[in-house]
Amino acid sequence: MAYDAAAMELFFNPRSVVIVGASRKTGPGSFNILENLLAYGYRGRVYAVNPRASDILGVKCYPRAQDLPEAPDLAVVTVPRELLPEVVRDCCTRGVRLFIFVPQGLGEADEVGAAIQSEVLETLRRHGARAVGPNTLGTINALDGFMSSFMGLTRNADPFPCGLICQTGLFLATDLGQTTSLGKGIDVGNQADIGFPDALRHLAEDPRVKVIAMHMEGLRPGEGRLFLEVAREAVARKPVLVYKTARSATGAEAAGSHTGSLAGSHEVYVAAFEEAGIIQLKDVDDLDDTIKAFVFLPPMRGRRVAILSISGGGGIMAADACDDHGLRLAEFSPETRARLQEMFPSWMTVSNPLDVWPAAIGKEYDPVFATCLDIVAADPNVDALVCIGGSMGGGVDIGDFVVEGARRWGKPVTWWLYGKRAAAIAAEVESSRCVPVYPSADRAVRALGHLATYYLDVLGRRKEAPVRPVGLPRVERGPGLPDAAAGTNGPGLRARRATVRAMGAEAFDLLRSYGIPVARWAVASSPQAAAAAAASLGLPVVVKAVGGNVLHKSELGAVKLGLATPEAVLEAAEDVLRRVAGEGSEVRLLVQEFLPGGQEVILGAKHDPHFGPTVLFGLGGIFTEVLRDVAIGLAPLTTDRAHGLMAKTKGYAVLAGARSRGRSDLEALADTLVRLSWLVADHPEIVELDLNPVKVFAAGQGCVAVDARVLVRSDA
Ligand code: ADP
Ligand code: MG
């Protein structure tokens, strides 16, 4: 359904609410939503529906929703699942248009639950009503003072300007981690109606939300492109972070090709997030760390980091972390070095990381550290600072200086504080909301790395739409992007039965029609015809089997290379036919020009159930099969993206001309990838496709596909 800004606003900030199924039990352990809502300080009008109570906590109860004196903006429904359809009908009749469905045991559970969920959705559609959940804690809005959680929560008077979309009650019930808090949060639960795209757009459009975090198990099938569209708009306004879980669950799919097994659901999510500019996080620590960094710190203008440490060893740890997280060590200017050097003993040459201790010998540590900080922070070669301290007491608590300085410098500063009292000192420092404190060098640096990704890579990126190369076949129905409307977990998708078959030699015609270079070929039904075909193609040739059930030709001994005479062709063709005798009556001989040399790469494509057409690139052989060294991108691609994709693989160095190898024709490969990306975008019936291998030759000499495996679906 279309985005409804007013509805989203009311899910977080209703003027009136009814709790349907409000419990009479109150006090600790009763998980009473009504009680929690009142305790949270909600100021709107509150009603309760409970046929067995006259009032709960001073709130008048009505036996049924029809009896309510007004139609409240929002109904929070917490009844056993069997009662849900009737309750929703009652509410809709009374004019309620927004729901939060708390119960579990619906679409996520058994068939009965799924049927109830469908019935409820049907009622919603009929009335133009919308819902969050089921299987949800609903929403929490500390900014305006509303919450629907059955876990009690005290309203945070000064919450982080952070919005969260999650698929667990955990983050809402805890108001995030130990050192972070929520401005607005929504648990989308089963996403029966409201899902990530709507929630993300709402948070993107609320100017009080400065950073958006997501905990995502998965999008609804078919919703990937809509989500990306919303995400692109969101990241242009504020950082969007994601902690994606359920990796193995979504990755375990049956695959009929290399691309199928390498481009699992999780890998496609990763590619899609990256393309949209969403920052990807490793775990909940990363989530908390990064939220804090974006809330506290000013934008990062470059990648050059200065490290000031109470110990030389700590500085080296942070320097290593810079390497890991895409940051560089700043090169101090000559003035900075000269000013610092005056403070240090002559046996020490100052450099970055800076071990401050030698300057403080025989002096007080804090003011020395503060002076060093001021000097370094003023250096125009420094974009961000990492301070390292120990909470050992004895006058080395530099927190005040760091905070005071950070306010003046306008550069991001993170602090790694180690030791027993670190948490207590960190809490005090972080109350300033300008310096985040982390428990390790790696985390202090990683947070800056995410800042650099957002402010430099994502915001600095050129935004170019893919351009359809000239001369491509015209498509009637438009590119094969997944249909967002059809993509819900409704019955429509499942009802269609699909059969998948492999294309034979006609795959080469399809490739050629998109301008993808293919080894010249002919199809023959007999060894004699193969010899004739070889003569017209020109010797030497390759003979292999095509069609039928033939899968891995080399394994069957059904690929004969470098056949230089008519006799050799005859003999090879006879042998190939013998070897594939059991593979079906449709097997034919494929005669190809023989293309020796070159570097073998794999180009693949696949239709992902969430994000639609994708392409894959990797070096052939062990690079892809053993090392899984591949890169995945969403189709269609721009030429830039095609180059970027190739460059992401480790094997790229081989193509780019490592160790006196010549440079391969990367331009031809990029062009082929772009064309392949349009082919798969135009043809939603292509389930998976492998060009394995494509042979790429020296710069200027082009590339050629010599093998193609194309799996197409015909919907019955
Ligand atoms: P399969 O992958 O089914 O075993 P291929 O058609 O990919 O069969 O052939 C196996 C290998 O033979 C390729 O990886 C490539 O090294 C080589 N080869 C195949 N066709 C040609 C050709 N036309 N010119 C040169 N080498 C080829
Ligand atoms: Mg092959």
**Ligand 2 centroid to residue 692 C-alpha, Å:** 4
Find out whether the beta carbon of 557 lies less than 6 Å from any atom of ligand 1: no
Residue 492: per-residue pLDDT: 37
DSSP letter for each residue of 301-317: --SEEEEEESSHHHHHH
Find out whether the beta carbon of 263 lies less than 6 Å from any atom of ligand 1: no
* 264 or 316, greater pLDDT: 316
Closest-approaching ligand to the CA atom of 520: 1
Residue 626: per-residue pLDDT: 80
For residue 559, give the ligand 1 atom closest to its CA. Answer: 9
Is the pLDDT score of 392 beyond 90?
Answer: no
**Ligand 2 centroid to residue 603 C-alpha, Å:** 11
Q: Which residue's CA is the nearest one to ligand 1's atom 8?
A: 553
For residue 707, give the ligand 1 atom closest to its CA. Answer: 6
**Which residues, in sequence order, are CB contacts of 251 under 8 Å at separation 6+?**
264, 265, 266, 267
Closest-approaching ligand to the CA atom of 580: 1
Residue 493: per-residue pLDDT: 40
CA-wise closest residue to 597 among 511, 478, 698: 698
Residue 486: per-residue pLDDT: 38
- Structure-block tokens of residue 165: 């979309």
Site to substitute for ligand 1 among 542, 591, 619, most atoms within 8 A of C-beta: 542
Contact between 673 and 653 (Cβ < 8 Å): no
Contact between 277 and 231 (Cβ < 8 Å): yes
The model's pLDDT over 557-598, given as tens digits with 9 standing for 90+, comes to 999 999 999 999 999 999 999 999 999 889 999 999 999 999
**Ligand 1 centroid to residue 563 C-alpha, Å:** 13
**Ligand 1 centroid to residue 655 C-alpha, Å:** 19
pLDDT band at 401 (very low <50, low <70, confident <90, very high): confident
Is the pLDDT score of 327 beyond 80?
Answer: yes
Is the pLDDT score of 713 beyond 50?
Answer: yes
> Which residues hold their Cβ within 5 A of ligand 2, which is an ion?
692, 707
The model's pLDDT over 139-152, given as tens digits with 9 standing for 90+, comes to 999 999 999 999 99
Closest-approaching ligand to the CA atom of 552: 1
Q: Which residue's CA is the nearest one to ligand 1's atom 7?
A: 707
CA-wise closest residue to 469 among 334, 660, 639: 639
Closest-approaching ligand to the CA atom of 544: 1
**Ligand 2 centroid to residue 572 C-alpha, Å:** 18
Find out whether the beta carbon of 296 lies less than 6 Å from any atom of ligand 1: no
Is the pLDDT score of 9 beyond 80?
Answer: yes
pLDDT band at 477 (very low <50, low <70, confident <90, very high): low
**Cα 663 to Cα 382, 645, 650, 660, distances in angstroms:** 36, 17, 15, 9
Find out whether the beta carbon of 597 lies less than 6 Å from any atom of ligand 1: no
H/E stretch holding 273: helix 265-276
Find out whether the beta carbon of 707 lies less than 6 Å from any atom of ligand 1: yes
For residue 620, give the ligand 1 atom closest to its CA. Answer: 14
How does 679-705 read in b/e, with b if 16+ C-beta sit within 10 Å?
bbbbbbebbbbbbbbbbbbeeeebbbb
**Ligand 1 centroid to residue 554 C-alpha, Å:** 8
Contact between 677 and 613 (Cβ < 8 Å): yes
For residue 555, give the ligand 1 atom closest to its CA. Answer: 4
Find out whether the beta carbon of 693 lies less than 6 Å from any atom of ligand 1: yes
Closest-approaching ligand to the CA atom of 691: 2
Residue 480: per-residue pLDDT: 52
Find out whether the beta carbon of 592 lies less than 6 Å from any atom of ligand 1: yes
Q: Which residue's CA is the nearest one to ligand 1's atom 1?
A: 553
Mean pLDDT across the stretch 197-203? 98
The model's pLDDT over 486-522, given as tens digits with 9 standing for 90+, comes to 333 333 344 456 788 999 999 999 999 999 999 999 9
Is the pLDDT score of 484 beyond 60?
Answer: no
Where do the H-state alpha helices sit in 487-608?
A: 491-495, 506-513, 527-537, 566-579
Is the pLDDT score of 485 beyond 50?
Answer: no
What domains does the chain contain, in order, with CATH numbers?
5-291 (3.40.50.261), 297-458 (3.40.50.261), 484-494+501-593 (3.30.1490.20), 599-714 (3.30.470.20)
How does 498-514 read in b/e, with b if 16+ C-beta sit within 10 Å?
eeeebbbeebbebbeeb
Residue 496: per-residue pLDDT: 53
Closest-approaching ligand to the CA atom of 540: 1
The model's pLDDT over 108-166, given as tens digits with 9 standing for 90+, comes to 899 999 999 999 999 999 999 999 999 999 999 999 999 999 999 999 999 999 999 99
**Cα 338 to Cα 127, 349, 661, distances in angstroms:** 74, 10, 45
The model's pLDDT over 404-462, given as tens digits with 9 standing for 90+, comes to 999 999 999 999 999 998 999 999 999 999 999 999 999 999 999 999 999 999 999 88
The model's pLDDT over 635-690, given as tens digits with 9 standing for 90+, comes to 999 999 999 999 999 999 999 987 767 899 999 999 999 999 999 999 999 999 99
Mean pLDDT across the stretch 608-618? 95
**Ligand 2 centroid to residue 164 C-alpha, Å:** 46
Contact between 653 and 646 (Cβ < 8 Å): no
Closest-approaching ligand to the CA atom of 541: 1
pLDDT band at 175 (very low <50, low <70, confident <90, very high): very high
**Ligand 2 centroid to residue 706 C-alpha, Å:** 8
Mean pLDDT across the stretch 292-319? 97
Whole-number percent of the chain with pLDDT over 70: 94
> How far is Cα of residue 224 from the mean position of the Cα atoms in its chain?
10
DSSP letter for each residue of 440-460: SHHHHHHHHHHHHIIIIIIHH
Q: Which residue's CA is the nearest one to ligand 1's atom 13?
A: 693
Contact between 142 and 181 (Cβ < 8 Å): yes
Find out whether the beta carbon of 544 lies less than 6 Å from any atom of ligand 1: yes
pLDDT band at 249 (very low <50, low <70, confident <90, very high): low
**Cα 62 to Cα 53, 65, 80, 656, distances in angstroms:** 8, 7, 18, 74
Distance CA 156, CA 152 (A): 12
Find out whether the beta carbon of 438 lies less than 6 Å from any atom of ligand 1: no
Distance CA 593, CA 539 (A): 7
**Cα 495 to Cα 257, 265, 489, 491, distances in angstroms:** 25, 22, 11, 6
**Cα 440 to Cα 289, 403, 411, distances in angstroms:** 11, 19, 20
- Structure-block tokens of residue 51: 């046929």
**Which residues, in sequence order, are CB contacts of 104 under 8 Å at separation 6+?**
134, 135
Residue type at 364 in one-letter notation: E
**Ligand 2 centroid to residue 545 C-alpha, Å:** 12
For residue 594, give the ligand 1 atom closest to its CA. Answer: 24
**Ligand 2 centroid to residue 663 C-alpha, Å:** 23
Is the pLDDT score of 82 beyond 80?
Answer: yes
Q: Which residue's CA is the nearest one to ligand 1's atom 6?
A: 707
Q: Which residue's CA is the nearest one to ligand 1's atom 5?
A: 707
Is the pLDDT score of 251 beyond 50?
Answer: no
Residue type at 2 in one-letter notation: A
| Mean per-residue pLDDT of the chain | 93
**Ligand 1 centroid to residue 527 C-alpha, Å:** 19
pTM of the complete model = 0.92
Residue 474: per-residue pLDDT: 85
Find out whether the beta carbon of 184 lies less than 6 Å from any atom of ligand 1: no
Find out whether the beta carbon of 604 lies less than 6 Å from any atom of ligand 1: no
Find out whether the beta carbon of 706 lies less than 6 Å from any atom of ligand 1: yes
Site to substitute for ligand 1 among 508, 555, 697, 707, most atoms within 8 A of C-beta: 707
**For the chain, percent helix, then strand, then coil, each to nearest 5?**
40, 20, 40
Find out whether the beta carbon of 595 lies less than 6 Å from any atom of ligand 1: yes
